[in-house]
Structure 1
Amino acid sequence: MRRFSVVAAAVAGAIGLTLGTTAVAEQPGVQPAERYLNLHQCVYVGSGGHYTNVLPNTANTAFNTGTNISSTPDSALSCSPGGGGWKPAPANSAVKDFDLTAGRYLNMHQCVYFSAGQHYTAVLPNTPNVNFNTGTNVSDTADTKLNCAPGGGGWRLLLANSAVKSFDLANNRYLNLHQCVWTSSGQYYMGLLPNSPNTNFNTGTNASQTADTALNCRVGGGGWALDRIDSAYLPLGG
């Protein structure tokens, strides 16, 4: 089991960022340190299957990532080492630097794959395991169609838990990321988006003029319960 000493179930932190093409590129006084959203997708494998984490601030620190805001794009993946029999899966892990001056929208594609009771969540477009990559991008247009690679090796795309969501970063001050993790019989499932068809497993991720102050996760169901040690929210903005 993946359990460690915990001081808080969900931790929030704010990283300075002015979002969107207009905000970053044209406003006077905006610092270049606010240009890149470096999103680290860290995947771990263990007896319970696959577990994906994208946040740097969960209470379960042995599985945290290097996701950050920076003046430069990250070139090296940063993943904590895991523990309790869980180890990193480099083939499914990656870091992607999203240049927030490149477009108005962060189009996030959440692709969930299923095999023999196991769930695997991917959000990045550039892992070595290309059969499980997504269409996540920054653009001046909002994506309206989900873009997921087909999977393989006995894994198939689970459309009920997959979705695409466009976050308008030009007109909002904060990107509030909510990572919700549910567990059942030693297995783990992570959701990041608020709009999958399987509404019992949606999150509160949003773009807003205000920073969220509480974790927002749906309750789960079908024997799956919220795992607060691995869940967290992170307001990006300021």
Structure 2
Amino acid sequence: MAVREHTGAEDRQRRTRQQIAASALALFAEQGYADTTVDQIAAAAGVARRTFFRYFPGKDDAIFPDHDETLARVAAVLDGADALEEPLSVVYRGIREVLRMYAADPKASVARYRLLREVPALREREIAVVSRYERLFTRYLLDHADRAIGEHEDAPLLAEVAAAAIVAAHNHVLRQWLRAAGEGDVEARLESAVGIIRRRLAREGGDLDGAATVVVVTRADADPSEVADRVRKALEG
């Protein structure tokens, strides 16, 4: 009985958190990010100001309401993986959890994407948030480099490259989907993109001899999706 009550409380907290985040996005879209206050968001969500701050440190945090929970799910995927499972497959399952977070509410994800395009400071915040996933994947692949990469003198470097490449594939697919207003089977696209990366990173058995090396020179302010697209085309070519 205690477990059910605890679960119910968590569900109510999750709904409140989502309502605050949805109200924030709606107000940002209607009157602009800079002109929206915490008090307005709280009023629109039907909660007190102190309740807002119980869930979010500030209004910019309301734009990324699900990342902490998703990060925990990703960590659980990596920590709970079978010791014999191929490491890149485990990382793919982890990055799929991130994609599913966005796909669970396409309308909100598209609205968030458009807002981030308009407010550079928020884009920087998104990059910082997403980098946490890459660090998890990098650490996992480094810990399993012998199976992910094989006995290779550059295994640590290649493990980091593999993690970055899979995250880049996810980001590329996600942005293409968001630009298309959340239409289409985004999970199938991710599976295809990660398949391209995996085929280039490793042959059967995890040996990276003969793997492609791609150097892409871009502007410092280049759109990450543009960079990922150029890498993808180079790998496919």
Do these two structures clear the TM 0.5 threshold for a shared fold by scoring above it?
no
Could you tell me the TM-score, scaled by structure 2's length? 0.30
Could you tell me the TM-score, scaled by structure 1's length? 0.30
Name which one, 1 or 2, has greater alpha-carbon Rg: 2
More helix by share: 2
Q: Which has the higher contact order (CA 8 A, sep 6+)?
A: 1
